[in-house]
Amino acid sequence: MTLIAEDVMVKEVLTVREETPLKEVTALFKEKKITGVPVVNAAGELLGVLSESDIVRKTTSIGAWSPSTAGQVMTNNAVTVEPTETLQRVCELMFNRRIHRVVVTEGMQIRGIITTMDVLRAIATHLKQKSDDTFAS
């Protein structure tokens, strides 16, 4: 059985709006124990992704200008996949782009998110099932 993005993605995706203050974003990261979120506009359309790394990198290297909102710090052109994309392709994208999350979209609307932890969980489940099948034979 080939796993696809829809099988692995988290469907209830936390997002922030582009005008969300960084102070609120960092509080959300701490409260929810996450390291990144998609950034959306008022219509809920994906604009980019904001990670802890983005915040650290851009707030320490800017100099006199101090960014204050998610939209000012986010990475534009978020890596996205469709719900039917294979998990193998998702892993290749994450590895090749050196990213920890991929947003699952249909058009500009977010349908889910896949993080490296979601991928590891799917692989562990698959290996356990394979092992159980071997011992059941």
Q: Which residues constitute the domain of residue 16?
A: 5-136
The pLDDT value given to residue 60:
74
Please give the pLDDT value at position 5.
Answer: 97
The tally of domains found in the chain comes to 1
Q: Find out whether 83 and 112 touch, Cβ atoms under 8 Å.
A: yes
What is the model's pTM?
Answer: 0.86
Average pLDDT per 10 consecutive residues for the chain, totaling 137 residues: 93 97 95 96 95 87 71 94 97 97 93 97 88 66
Nearest residue to 81 via CA among 102, 53, 98, 59: 102
Q: Which of 29, 45, 37, 103 is nearest to 74 (CA)?
A: 37
Question: Which CATH number is 26's domain given?
Answer: 3.10.580.10
- How far does CA 94 lie from the centroid of its chain? 10
